[in-house]
Amino acid sequence: MPPNAVPAVNPPSEAWPWPPMVRASVGCHLMAGGAALLLPGAVPWAIGAVALNHALITAAGLTPRSSLLGQNLTRLPPAAVARREVAITIDDGPDPEVTPQVLDLLAAHGQRATFFCIAERAAAHPALAREIMARGHSIQNHTARHRHNFSLLGPRGLAREISHAQQLLFEVTGQRASCFRAPAGLRNPFLAPVLHRLGLSLVSWTRRGFDTRERDPAVVLSRLETDLAAGDILLLHDGHAARTATGQAVLLEVLPPLLDRLGREGLRAVTLPEAFE
């Protein structure tokens, strides 16, 4: 297995395992269609059933940590918990101003992180992306462009966006990503089978700091530290980062005390491939 790979729960060679909610949704549509055709007066009830089903699916897609639409990794596996490991994941970069400082902070504390990079940004700053890898961190797939309408794309649109990101990241780093994170964690029922075909595992988080909109580092840190435990996956941002009153990316003020806390607790921040190895 390549050093940058996370073992897929369902290998791409196997058929995509339909989640119970998706199976129920298909059944709902079939039953509603049959009832509308065969039972007098059933059309309003059939339309209502389908509308309710769509509302439930939409709600699942708008819940980033939900697994109702397919596999979604929100914590590290038991073996990583036993090793007292956590995962710091950093999204939306690389950023030529912020990311080098993040790398220095991580190096000073002897900790590692996983960078969910926007592929076109990695391609625009290839030396920085390669520096991330050279320092022992991992780069994973966060789409090619971080489209705001990502969760509205159909199967072909999702496949184009994600596979293009895969190719760009491979060209820059020489390694293929094995993890994927959707923009803002939002998705639809078409995403899971696309990821399965591409051999990618969907990864969300245990807790997030909301550091793209919260300008107070203390608030962000509190959200990440509350009930912090081995196995947690933490979400921060080097790209699209909110700025403090002094103009500094919030991440840069949150990382030092967070890394100090990990050290005091005897926790080790590792990359996702390391944790799932």
Q: Do 229 and 95 fall into the same domain?
A: yes
Cβ atoms within 10 A of the Cβ of 16, count? 16
Is residue 11 situated within a structural domain?
no
Q: Is residue 5 part of a domain?
A: no
- Is residue 6 assigned to a domain? no
Q: Which tokens sit at 2?
A: 């390549």
Going by pLDDT thresholds of 50, 70 and 90, the confidence category of residue 8 is: very low
**Average pLDDT for residues 155-165, to the nearest whole number?**
97
Provide the mean pLDDT of the chain. 90
| Res 212: pLDDT | 97
Q: Is residue 15 part of a domain?
A: no
Q: What is the pLDDT of residue 228?
A: 97
Domain count of the fold of the chain: 2
pLDDT of residue 229: 97
* Model confidence at 7: pLDDT above 60: no
Residue 196: what pLDDT?
Answer: 96
Whether residue 160 is found in the same domain as residue 226: yes
73 in any annotated domain: no
Domain shared by 30 and 89, yes or no: no
Determine what percent of the chain is predicted with pLDDT higher than 90.
Answer: 77
| Residue 135: partners with Cβ closer than 8 Å, 6 or more residues away | 103, 106, 107
Q: State whether 151 and 269 are in the same domain.
A: yes
- Encoded tokens for 65: 């940590």
The whole domain housing 41 covers: 20-61
Q: Are residues 54 and 121 in the same domain?
A: no
Answer yes or no: do 31 and 104 share one domain. no
- State how far the Cα of 252 lies from the Cα of 102, in Å rounded to an integer: 7
52, exposed or middle or buried, with CB in 10 Å at 0-12, 13-18, 19+?
exposed
217: domain CATH number is 3.20.20.370
Do 26 and 117 sit in the same domain of this protein?
Answer: no
Task: Answer yes or no: is pLDDT of 52 > 80.
Answer: no
Q: Is residue 242 part of a domain?
A: yes
41 and 168 in a common domain: no
pLDDT in tens, 168-201: 999 999 999 999 999 999 999 999 999 999 999 9
Lowest mean pLDDT, pick from 16-20, 29-33, 147-151: 29-33
Quick check: 6 pLDDT over 70?
no
Residue 236 and residue 150 share a domain? yes
In Å, how far are 60, 66, 136, 241, 265 from 270, measured between CA atoms? Answer: 29, 24, 9, 22, 15
Does 56 share its domain with 193?
no
pTM as predicted: 0.88
Q: In terms of domains, do 105 and 240 share one?
A: yes
Catalytic machinery residues: 91, 237
Mark whether 45 and 123 lie in a shared domain: no
